[in-house]
Chains A and B, each alone.
Chain A
Amino acid sequence: MKKESVKLLRDEFFQKWVRSVDTERVEIVTESFFRHIGNPPVKQRALVLKDILEKMTIKIYDKEMFVGNQGRGKRGVPLFPEYGYKWILEQMDDFETRIGDKFKTTEEQKTILRNCLAKWVGYSMDDRTEAITPDPLREVLRFGVVKNENYKMSAPGHMSPDHERLIRRGLSSIISECREKLSELQQNELKYEGIEKTAFYEACIITCEAIIAFSERYADLAEHMAQAEKNTDRKADLLKIAAVCRNIPRNPAKTYHEALQFMWFTQLIMQIEGNGLAICMGRPDQTLLPYYEASLKDGMSREEALLLTEFFYLKCNEIDKVYSNDATRFMQGPSHGQCITLGGVDADGNDCTNDLSLLLLEADYEVRMVQPDIAVRITKNSPEAFLNEIGVCIKAGINKVKVFGDEVVVDSLKPLAPDEAANYSILGCSEPVICGRTNSWGNCGQINLTKCLELALNDGKCMLTGKQMGLHTGDLRNAVSFEDLKDAFEKQVNYFINHLAEYDSILEYCHKNYYPLPFYSIVTQDCIKAGVEFNAGGARYNTSSPLGVGAITAGDSLLAIKTLVFDEKKTTMPQVIEALEADFVGQEPLRQMLLNRAPKFGNDSDAADEMSNYVLHVYVDALGKHKNNRGGAFIGGLYYVTSYIPFGKTTAASADGRKSTMPLNDGGISPSHGMDKKGPTAIAKSVSKLDNADVMHGCVLNQRFHPSVFNGENSFQNFTSYLRGFARLDCFECQYNVVTTETLRKAQKNPESYRGLVVRVAGYSAYFTDLEPEIQEDIISRTEHLR
């Protein structure tokens, strides 16, 4: 195990390996699924997983310390015909050439896919969903105001496996538990429930045994390779790998190395089982601490632990997914929400940041790849060293660390989990879930809130196509008060959320009845205890959270109308609606008035902040009227990956001055592009005026910093003070971008979207876009110089 290997493996990952489709899983599953078709679905799926783990090609790659791959080749990505085959058949020719997320696909692979996928007609999630979706709902979904793509293409994901329990107990102890449950069941008369539970426990046992055998395959391979290995260092590494894979996951982990490998197998098999998005790794600085300390005691140095962690992070990047063309536009980039959460409080409310928290950050500073995603919990007592390390990562332009105001997140979770709220980890973007106990259904659909406002202004008719998409809520050209508009807006939001909840029910029905998940159930507390499968509601905590998109754009638009039409009477409803329909053509002065003469969110303006908070409540309250089929609540989440761009494309001009088809506000609650003019503290204050705690799945704020923020002697202390202030203001989440030349170039091309970008040079200040081109050039070169 060598430090140089990390860099070499990293370079290789980008240079040698190409993101490509791997058809092996498709072939195995297509054969296995139909061979086991007589079984109860849960057992059938366990048997299929067993077949995959037995048959898939395994390999140990040169230099690596952690083993286990999704597909053949480090970047070979499997496909999941049980969830969807149509889009693969229709789009596989595009995989290699589409704009985002390209995957190499050979002609030979396409032939294999055509042959295998044809057999799935009627058996896949997409067919089954289609079969039970009623026509009126189908019609509404076609409008694209609400969507749910990712729950159709994979298992639900969006969960945090109970790594702590697994690593502590080992799978053999889970098998024993299931056997005991089975023998209890056999003592009673086998009723309907007993049949279901028997199948479930058998499935869990099959799964655990299959995973142990999978690890043994790696142990055998490592031993075999060690025999032939000439290099003594590498030989020792291989024997180490063999010993690790021989012990875990059958038995509890004894060392830091074993604990990490155990965690990796769990993460990997979650993927192989169901391809779920956003399967996070919980709180490794807490979970792994006993193993880390034990290994230190046994003579492992801190440097070795750091290096092992770096190898582990490299491995994390081998998780990847092929999505449909459409879904790719909404969730671009190979991050997949595999997140670790560091710092925060323990059950007693004490800050439990420790040396491992720092080490896990330091490893990321070294590796600098997309995965794992990193969330940090900032408490009142977060150690300065921890905040400094966060600053180091952010300053380095890694632009990855997500900061959470710990208190407000814990508060937001209390209604769900009063006793366990402190033990949350972040998954996906900003969703806090109780580690190992939650089936969150995060990101189960998205609603375009700005579009709802467009429809409210136009009696439910789309301004771009003229189609009646929403409810008839009346012609607002004659509105007498702002209340009329609010009323129409609320009705549209409720109307679409009702449809989204209905569609989610259909998806839930299919997941539960056709695609049960034995391994998800093993890694989630209460499933085995209660004998209830994960999709059937076995987890302790169950939620559903469709995302709200464009809340700030909607809030700013509402306030512009309230201020300029109803309060100041500078313009009228007919004028505004006509201008929006015309995309402001010939109406530039009115557009400028809407842009500049009404306050906008992100400037610490109470009026604007309250209006966005109103939109937040309309959305959260509409969700609150629904329950999912697992007995859980619908909760809010104001975050989204790239969906503000495609949603923007189908949204007409808005009354905040945004032109038709332009992006909606990003992040979730980030100020509209270029509208934040008072800097980061003002933004934090605005965010703090939103009821963050009412949005259980988080409010995401993107902030950009010019690298000059980190110049000067006290810059770190300033930055860490800012983080502390952000958390103290009960702001939920923020992610930072230290602005790069590339952004400044974009700002030059598209100044209107970058108006808030302040360039601060000693004694002189300017908005970047106000500067002359040659001066901008100067700043750009200076920025490079500073870096």
Chain B
Amino acid sequence: MEEGTVFDIQRFSLHDGTGIRTIVFLKGCSLECMWCSNPESKSLDPQLFYWQKKCIACKACMDQCPQRALSWSEQGIACDRSLCTNCGDCCKTCYAEALVLRGRRMSVDEVFDEVLRDQLFYSLSGGGLTLSGGEPVAQPGFARALLQRAKQEGMNTAIETAGNYSLESLQAIDPFVDMYLFDVKHTDAEKHKRFTGKDNGLILKNLAWLADNKRNVIVRVPVIPGFNDDVGTLQSIVDLAIQLGIGQVSFLPYHEFGRNKYAALGQEYAYGKISGRVSLDLDAFNRTKGLLRTADLHINVGG
């Protein structure tokens, strides 16, 4: 039985594929997007979150830590991340759930114990399973097993993917995917590399393969200030979609909702500093969007 690391299962999701869906979030990602709003999704392993607001200062965790990585500070519990092994022992006595281990090893059956609970709603609405992450294909065998199982159960399947992997990996999951929510962040390889750590070669190749094979694809563009929110870049993505015969592009406006997760992981959220902007100017974005030449392409904002 395939096992993998899951960091969330979210029922009643409405905006990531058709109908009522359950999203299974897998850990691990091959990109290092500076603005990432799910920092806990990058690593393949479970990670310790500390939510200071929930902490009741009982300090029971401090004695639990085999590494002695926890101490008390003005900001509540301080975790020496160089010592922490993310073993999760400290969470056992943290009844307030200030310390929680994000990510858990699960088998396909365990995941489906939860996923199948909403089977009635999937069948009434045409919904099903959406894999997300991270990058679900960062755990290729597990992702494939989950999708395959979903198809066996008669569910609709969708995957949210950044597309940065080999064509073989894509072809391995492809028989079990009904819809791709496929991120295209930039058309310029160099800029892509600077902001995400990798160029876009594999991504564009995989996208082309999906288009050539007439797969059901929605191109998703996280609109990031200072990276791709200019009309030229967005137009180039739209043009690419048109050229590939893809019917829909969704713009996902930049947000900083993930910032508190960085704090909870003991990390700093740097993109706001780098870009010099704390939010996307929605009016400006809408003006930009109005300038795009979109032909028959269906454009929407949000999922």
Contacts and interface: CB of A to CB of B under 8 A. Distances in A.
A764 B300 CA distance: 17
Contacts of B12: 678-682, 722
Nearest to B303: A762
A590 B93 CA distance: 10
A766 interface: yes
Nearest to B98: A592
A136 interface: no
Contacts of A718: 14, 19-20, 125, 127
A739 interface: no
A678 B10 CA distance: 7
Contacts of B302: 711-712, 761-762
Interface stretch (A168-176, A451-459, A769-777): A769-777
A760 interface: yes
Interface in B47-80: 51, 53, 56, 58, 60
A785 B51 CA distance: 29
Given A596-B95, A718-B20, A770-B51, A711 B258 contact: no
A725 B124 contact: yes
A770 B50 CA distance: 12
Given A589-B56, A596-B95, A762 B259 contact: no
Contacts of A778: 255-257, 279
A367 interface: no
A468 interface: no
Interface residues of B, number: 47
A709 B14 contact: yes
B124 A721 contact: yes
Given A718-B125, A762-B252, A775 B160 contact: no
Nearest to A752: B54
Contact of A762 (B15, B53, B58): B15
A187 interface: no
A714 interface: yes
A19 interface: no
A761 B124 contact: no
Contacts of A717: 19, 125-126
Interface string A578-595: 000000000011101101
A604 interface: yes
Interface string A484-518: 00000000000000000000000000000000000
B95 A682 contact: no
Interface in A733-766: 758, 760-766
Contacts of A763: 16, 37, 132, 160, 220, 222, 252, 303
Contacts of B81: none
Contacts of A715: 14
A597 interface: yes
A766 B257 CA distance: 8
Contacts of B121: 681, 721-722, 725
A729 interface: yes
Contacts of B300: 712-713
Given A717-B125, A764-B257, A772-B259, A728 B11 contact: no
B14 A770 contact: no
Given A681-B12, A712-B15, A762-B15, A597 B252 contact: no
A588 B220 CA distance: 45
B3 interface: no
B233 interface: no
Interface residues of A, number: 44
Given A589-B96, A722-B121, A762-B16, A775 B257 contact: yes
Contacts of B20: 681, 718, 721-722, 725
A685 interface: yes
Contacts of B89: none
B120 A761 contact: no
Contacts of A712: 14-15, 300, 302-303
Given A679-B12, A682-B11, A761-B302, A714 B97 contact: no
Nearest to B25: A765
Contacts of A772: 259-260
A681 B56 contact: no
Contacts of A729: 120
A588 B15 CA distance: 38
Contacts of A724: 124
Interface string A400-435: 000000000000000000000000000000000000
Contacts of A721: 19-20, 121, 124-127
- Tell me if A's interface is mostly helix, strand, loop or mixed: helix
A43 B281 CA distance: 75
A760 B125 contact: no
B117 interface: yes
B8 interface: yes
A760 B14 contact: yes
B38 interface: yes
A775 B256 contact: yes
B169 interface: no
B250 interface: yes
A588 B125 CA distance: 43
B120 A771 contact: no
B58 A588 contact: yes
Contacts of B51: 770
Contacts of B220: 762-763
A649 to B, nearest CB: 25
B117 A685 contact: yes
B125 A722 contact: yes
Nearest to B9: A678
A711 B15 contact: yes
B56 A764 contact: no
B156 to A, nearest CB: 12
Contacts of A762: 15-16, 220, 250, 252, 302-303
A593 B257 CA distance: 29
A678 B120 contact: no
Interface string B117-145: 11011001111000010000000000000
A592 B92 CA distance: 12
Interface string A438-472: 00000000000000000000000000000000000
B86 interface: no
Nearest to A597: B95
A35 to B, nearest CB: 63
Contacts of B288: none
A708 B303 CA distance: 11
B16 A593 contact: no
A595 B124 CA distance: 34
Interface string A699-731: 000000000110111110110011011001100
B37 A760 contact: no
A592 B95 contact: yes
B300 to A, nearest CB: 8
Given A678-B11, A721-B19, A760-B14, A604 B117 contact: yes
Interface in B1-58: 8, 10-16, 18-20, 23, 37-38, 51, 53, 56, 58
28 contacts: A588-B96, A589-B56, A589-B58, A589-B60, A589-B95, A595-B95, A596-B95, A597-B95, A681-B12, A681-B118, A682-B11, A682-B12, A682-B117, A711-B302, A712-B302, A718-B20, A718-B127, A721-B126, A725-B20, A728-B120, A758-B10, A760-B13, A761-B257, A761-B303, A764-B38, A770-B260, A772-B260, A775-B259
Interface of B: 8, 10-16, 18-20, 23, 37-38, 51, 53, 56, 58, 60, 95-97, 117-118, 120-121, 124-127, 132, 160, 220, 222, 250, 252, 255-260, 279, 282, 300, 302-303
Interface of A: 588-590, 592-593, 595-597, 604, 678-682, 685, 708-709, 711-715, 717-718, 721-722, 724-725, 728-729, 758, 760-766, 770-772, 775, 778, 785
Shortest Cβ-Cβ A-B pairs, 6 listed: A762-B303, A721-B125, A592-B95, A679-B12, A593-B95, A721-B124
Given A714-B19, A778-B257, 11 more contacts: A681-B121, A682-B117, A712-B14, A718-B19, A718-B127, A725-B121, A758-B10, A760-B13, A762-B250, A762-B303, A765-B8
